[in-house]
Amino acid sequence: MSPDSAQVAVRLAQQIEASGPVSVAEYMRVANTAYYGRADPLGAAGDFITAPEISQMFGEMVGIWLSDLWLRHRPAACYYVELGPGRGTLAADALRTMKRLGWEPSVHFVENSPALRAKQVQAVPDATFHDNLETLPTDAPLFVVANEFFDALPIRQIVSTPGGWRERVVVQDGVSGFAAMPGACVTEDLIPEQFRTAAMGSIYELCPEASSIMHQLSARLAQQGGVMLVIDYGYTQPALGDTLQAVQSHTYADPFTNPGQHDLTAHIDFFELSNCAKNCDLLVAGPSDQGAWLSALGIDQRAQILAAANPSRAADIASARNRLVAPDAMGALFKILAAYAPDWPQPEGFGL
């Protein structure tokens, strides 16, 4: 256990000793705040790699998608907003593409990690940074991108027990440091009717923070105009299951050991995010498989152009394209959801 991880573990242990077990959501919040604050976790030398880091083609397709909507609606002014922009790679590739197509929106990043902000400044020097949504501009349409953002938000887990549905909490454990178990609070009112008679041990997950953020942004889009693109892994209908996972050095790890040392994520509920948007009177497209969406936008043609211009890299370009699109890679696991203001054009890429 690294010194940083040891400090997080000590802090959590002290909190549990003083106040009792913490929820899975609180454990995840503390661990991820420390994890993302300490260093850049991306790339081959880090813990995981995201689609923009695999190939410039990903960000370029996002840039094409956004540009198409801009060209068809032509707002007098607008803002590019990205939530959790990683190293800024997606934004840099998308903005370069947008510039070629005739527009250069003002750039706004919502990011709390000092380590990642330093990388983002290098990639997009003119970006304006925000700690939260409240300070985003209110005077023009927003073009919002959230790539692998929602999956890192803290989830609540509710487990079925002989005593009813109870929130899962984290306690100290003498062997591994921490462990999850059913808490004392009965939380059956949080469980959808169709799941209330599920087998003992069944787990239902919800992410209040994701719902809140989606609702806030949807209300903004309904008032200001604009679009939002959500790219992540998750499920498209309400479901049961434990999706909490930890990744370290590109390998799965135990979520309840070494908090702050690995990335904690969970599958997102696209059904809930869609409902948040619809409840604010937005229109929704998708969710669609990432592979189908990228193919519809022309990633195959872009790969051919790049390979022709860089023959020595043709095999690498083809491999990157396959990793992004193939169903047995990221193509089916990752989904794309778009939400947009009612008077805006129907977005491309969703087979509508």
Is the pTM value of this prediction over 0.85? Answer: yes
| DSSP-derived pairing of the beta strands 142-147 and 79-83 | parallel
Q: For position 2, what pLDDT does the model report?
A: 45
Q: CA-CA distance, 18 to 140, in Å (whole number)?
A: 47
| The amino acid at 28 | M
The helix/strand/coil state of 137 is: coil
Tens digit of pLDDT at every position of the chain (352 positions) = 444 556 888 888 889 989 999 999 999 999 888 887 766 665 555 555 788 999 999 999 999 999 999 999 999 899 999 999 999 999 999 999 999 999 999 999 999 988 899 999 999 999 999 999 999 999 999 999 999 999 999 999 999 999 999 999 999 887 558 999 999 888 899 999 999 999 999 999 999 999 999 999 999 999 999 999 999 999 999 999 999 998 776 677 889 988 888 889 999 999 999 999 999 999 999 999 999 999 999 999 999 999 999 999 999 999 999 999 999 999 999 999 999 999 999 999 997 5
| The amino acid at 240 | L
Question: CB-hemisphere CA count at 13 Å for 211?
Answer: 12
Q: For position 47, what pLDDT does the model report?
A: 58
| CA-based nearest residue to 173, from 181, 182, 165 | 181
Q: For position 44, what pLDDT does the model report?
A: 53
Q: For position 40, what pLDDT does the model report?
A: 63
